[in-house]
Structure 1
């Protein structure tokens, strides 16, 4: 494992709001907005968060396919070959083009087991998941909804730009996600990201530490808050 891969994997120790705030610390300003909007359904399956380079695809399934079964089966195998390749850690980022009225679950028992076996770290989709009690342990999935059926689900496109709840993802983007949503980490801030995380966590303790102590009152808060305001982005 390279030093960079080890660092990227280590980012799964932090929740996505922490990474979101740390990006602003690294950028030195508010306004970072490359993240999802709306509320996901989360099946974290024992994981705190997921992080990896995006392996992207588009699926559909509300209506029957117009292509032949042979074409659809061949594309599905191409999909698995694509997901098995590329740098690690990796996340599967899938746009269901039937959105916002998705009905076909791509993520369930079989696919969580298969994708974990192919060494992917998790999945993000605006589409549907099911089989919640049977997901592979350690393979988190965040999805737009939960439903019972796979309907006519199939792969429509591979290694393509996708949009998930307002977040645009290009193949190879570094994505961080948890039950709060997902974001794309700007590559230019990577050298400063760990220092930014450390600074953010230390700054938060200016408020959190005294607030947990006996005798905390409004005067203590006012003093701590002035220091906090001077320290934060």
Structure 2
């Protein structure tokens, strides 16, 4: 399978989406795509060792890995698969985000595909970060400004190897296809349907305007229940 051939969004739209954190993007999606209220985002906790990095937006490069058992391929075949995977990661529309499912089930995270080397390689290939339910390591040697959301942090790579790539996968409750538009930060990740992407910045601003009167009262030393009720009424009238 090859990456999605959906027409890429403009750099201006991607930059606008990256100005908001992922919870705000999820709020905006509830307005413009309410049918996705229960789908399309991570629902299980992921560790983020770099919480201060800004949100990332990019097109998914999907893969599956195993680490608890050795690959059945010969060393030459393993090398060929890995090179084919890197060709896939470095091709197609960008920017890109690597999304990797660990197939080891209860032993997910047994060995880390991600560390000093793969964070540097993927950054060089045009990725802005990784979302995986597997493990990562080499936190101190990680590629600068390369975001990471992972199921766990561990010391060894064990028998880790790429099983497949460019297929539909599921990571932390989020189903992702190759080429999907992903928004991620320390809270988790969400798939953005391309047909509503351009509407999200305006919807995010609307969410902010609706929250403003409620937050103003809630943070005020003169807070009262009656003032909160009035703020809620005013919030509901903002369109």
* TM-score, length of structure 2 as denominator length: 0.89
Aligned 8 A contact 2:97 2:131 in 1: yes
Gaps of 5+ in 1: none
Which residue is equivalent to 1:17?
23
Gaps of 5+ in 2: 1-7
Describe the SS at the equivalent of 2:94: coil
Matched, 1:68 2:74: yes
Aligned 8 A contact 2:48 2:148 in 1: yes
State how many pairs are aligned: 231
Bigger CA drift: 54-63 or 26-35?
26-35
Which residue is equivalent to 1:222?
229
* TM-score, length of structure 1 as denominator length: 0.92
What do residues 72-104 of structure 1 show as CA deviations (whole Å, max 9, x unaligned)?
Answer: 011111111111111111100111111341211
Aligned 8 A contact 1:49 1:177 in 2: yes
Cα RMSD (Å): 1.9
Which residue is equivalent to 2:116?
109
Which residue is equivalent to 1:159?
166
Bigger CA drift: 199-208 or 186-195?
186-195
CA 1:30–1:124: 2 relative to 1, 3 Å: closer
Q: How does 1:18-57 map to 2 (within 5 A)?
A: 18-27=24-33, 31-44=37-50, 46-57=52-63
What do residues 46-92 of structure 1 show as CA deviations (whole Å, max 9, x unaligned)?
Answer: 42222111011111111111110110011111111111111111100
Bigger CA drift: 24-33 or 75-84?
24-33
What do residues 114-162 of structure 1 show as CA deviations (whole Å, max 9, x unaligned)?
Answer: 1112221111111011111221121001011111100011111121111
